[in-house]
Chains A and B, each alone.
Chain A
Amino acid sequence: MANFIELFNTYNWDNTLKSIFSKTEVEVENALAKEKLDLEDFKALISPAAKPFLERMAQKSSMLTKKRFGNTIQMYAPMYLSNECQNICTYCGFSMTNKIPRRTLTDAEILKEVAFLKKKGYDHILLVTGEANKTVGVNYIKNAIKIIRSQFSNITIEVQPLDQEEYELLIENGLYAVLVYQETYHREEYKKHHPKGKKSNFNYRLDTPDRLGKAGVHKIGLGALFGLEDWRADSFFTALHLKYLQKAYWKTKYSISFPRLRPHSGGLEPKVEMTDSDLVQLICAFRLLDEDIELSMSTRENEIFRNNIVQLGATSISAESKTNPGGYTVEPQSLEQFEISDERSTEEIVKMLKGQGLEVVWKDWEHFEEIQK
């Protein structure tokens, strides 16, 4: 396969969903007994038939995670650089038609936010923007990376999809990883939720991890936004995407995130509900499918959920996150992209992790490449 789109086009949403729902307890048992799981096993593990096996899945997931990652949790902090956006996304607080004050941080404001995060101990940072290519294009992002890279070992972005050459430019300047979620792999639903803007191009977004792989980025983060469509089918396609990418770009690391729709200004109710039990099932299924994959848990989830998920398979978490540009110090009152559920401070999260016998990892990267000056 030359790219994922080709592979993806050989699948049909409804048949996939039917196949997941037809999985039996015997198939779940078999998947649990295997050392190397394939995508059919994964379907069984995310199927309703796996519900009675949730505790066994969690035990195995926990054991595999500890074997690979040890008793550790990586900390990271998101930093929103801009809420300018030319897309309409039905579920997002930054959507173009939402009447909110727009703001893009200046160099000085970025550094002020950085100083706050450094004081908290963060060394891995996630830069987030909307999609406003004229004002917050690749040059803005490149500049942001350049001015903060001496202060962070590990810089990830979650911004509009870019071209391969643009990614190459950012990597040369110190970019480590890119998160790009498909939101939903359901082509028609995707169109409904992204009616306007560059983001409405389903194929361009779907092809993004391929461009990233070709650009040689260190890590690619995948995911679907749960609530838009059936989470089981969307998760299957995420897993299919992952397995394709691992073979195509074998030097790249991968991570999976599990965002569930959260309330925001101008909000959308989830079409398909995903319960806490469903989310645990999914996280464990991903761990059983892949021992090495990083599983990330944001502050979208609440205290109780996060206190427990750190033992079940998650490997990196954020804390005290602000989802508005300047939210830490520059303009804390501005409107957020979505409301977070776990509002505990970084210090409280660290205490919680240590109390559970987990070592908090702040730094796990070094700029070994010679960076273009």
Chain B
Amino acid sequence: MNKILKIADKEFTSRLFTGTGKFSASEVMKDALLASESELITVALKRVDVQNNEDDILTHLKHAHINLLPNTSGVRTAKEAVFAAELSREALGTNWVKLEIHPDPRYLLPDPIETLKAAETLIKLGFVVMPYIHADPVLCKRLEDVGVQCVMPLGAPIGSNKGLKTQDFLDIIIEQSNVPVIVDAGIGAPSHAAYAMELGADAVLVNTAIAVSKNPVIMARAFKMAVEAGRMAFEAKLAPIKNKAEASSPLTSFLN
């Protein structure tokens, strides 16, 4: 059994977080997300009708083990993000928010300046803030300073399925962080997820790779297993990588 992950006041058995976008139907989404055993599922506020009790996405996510994580996708500034978070707290009854501020609509790259500003305000307003950011170690520390409960650096541009292109910076973030590190974007295959977990990421968030797969339910299970395996390997401590066998005649044996 892997260690329990704790973020703010919540405990998670599963270290695979998921999203609700891009599925071919809400039924498929539900089946895949149940198969993933994910306990934290992000949903774009702009996609749900919070006035409607029978919103299609939300109805399909009503399960005891699922925690909703509303995200602010679509906002371009700190001000809009705070407004969106307050709207979601009121409508969905959760003070958790995935803070996404990407003024760039093409690559959806997060704006570090607005994100830091919004995080500071939201923490003061009592939110649990999970910021989506570039893999920037300094920004992670700055966010930690204002009180975010975790950081969510990207592995590669969102939806790109390219894997851990930012690995060198993820390594530094994981080494330095006092809050959980969740690799949030770019994970395109179970092997990428397992690798992130082996590096010591506390969790990963996967959406496109599951939703766009030919068989989202089976892919969700594959990710679940990969995340578990990667975490297990991390906890068991991987053997160090060696480039060559040890020299048979060591250079310092004369000292003995």
Contacts and interface: CB of A to CB of B under 8 A. Distances in A.
Query: A and B: real partners?
Result: yes
Interface of A: 66-72, 123, 153, 246, 250-253, 292, 354, 357-359, 361, 363-366, 368-370
Nearest to B75: A368
B30 to A, nearest CB: 12
Interface in B61-83: 72, 74-76, 79-81, 83
B3 interface: no
Interface residues of B, number: 33
Interface stretch (B21-29, B192-200, B245-253): B21-29
Given A69-B22, A70-B22, A359-B25, 16 more contacts: A67-B160, A71-B23, A72-B23, A250-B103, A292-B106, A292-B107, A354-B25, A359-B24, A364-B44, A366-B46, A366-B87, A368-B46, A368-B80, A368-B84, A369-B80, A370-B79
A246 B87 CA distance: 31
Contacts of A69: 22
Contacts of A70: 21-24, 208, 211-212
Contacts of B161: 67
Nearest to A70: B22
Given A70-B211, A368-B75, A363 B21 contact: no
Contact of A366 (B25, B84, B106, B107): B84
A184 B230 CA distance: 56
B49 interface: yes
A253 B46 contact: no
A346 B105 CA distance: 29
A359 B23 contact: yes
10 contacts: A67-B160, A70-B22, A70-B212, A359-B25, A363-B47, A363-B49, A365-B74, A366-B87, A368-B81, A369-B83
B48 interface: yes
A47 B251 CA distance: 67
- List the 9 shortest-distance A-B pairs measured between CB atoms, nearest first: A70-B22, A71-B24, A253-B105, A368-B80, A366-B46, A357-B24, A292-B106, A251-B103, A368-B75
Contacts of A253: 105
A364 B46 contact: yes
B232 to A, nearest CB: 30
A57 to B, nearest CB: 20
B57 to A, nearest CB: 10
Contacts of B79: 370
A68 B49 contact: no
B22 A71 contact: yes
Contacts of A66: 22, 212
B206 interface: no
Nearest to A290: B106
B105 A292 contact: yes
B116 interface: no
A148 to B, nearest CB: 16
Contact of A68 (B44, B47, B75, B159): B159
Given A251-B76, A364-B47, A72 B22 contact: yes
Nearest to A369: B80
A354 B23 CA distance: 12
Nearest to B49: A363
Given A70-B208, A71-B24, A251-B105, A366 B76 contact: no
Contact of A363 (B26, B48, B103, B104): B48
Contacts of B72: 368
A354 B28 CA distance: 12
A157 to B, nearest CB: 19
Nearest to A291: B106
Contacts of B160: 67
A354 B26 CA distance: 11
Contacts of A368: 46, 72, 74-75, 80-81, 83-84, 87
B70 to A, nearest CB: 11
Interface string B150-165: 0000000001110000
B173 interface: no
Contact of A358 (B21, B24, B84): B24
Nearest to A153: B46
B181 interface: no
B45 interface: yes
A246 B107 CA distance: 12
A253 to B, nearest CB: 4
Contacts of B48: 363
Nearest to B105: A253
Given A70-B208, A251-B105, A359 B26 contact: yes
A250 B159 contact: no
Contacts of B84: 366, 368
A241 to B, nearest CB: 16
Of A123, A250, A354, most B-chain CB atoms within 10 Å: A250
Interface string B9-39: 0000000000001111110000000000000
B212 A370 contact: no
Nearest to A363: B49
Nearest to B46: A366
A70 B19 CA distance: 12
Given A363-B47, A368-B84, A369-B80, A67 B159 contact: yes
Contacts of B21: 70
Contacts of A361: 47
A289 to B, nearest CB: 12
A230 B145 CA distance: 59
Of B48, B103, B104, B105, most A-chain CB atoms within 10 Å: B105
A135 B209 CA distance: 51
A361 B212 CA distance: 16
B83 A250 contact: no
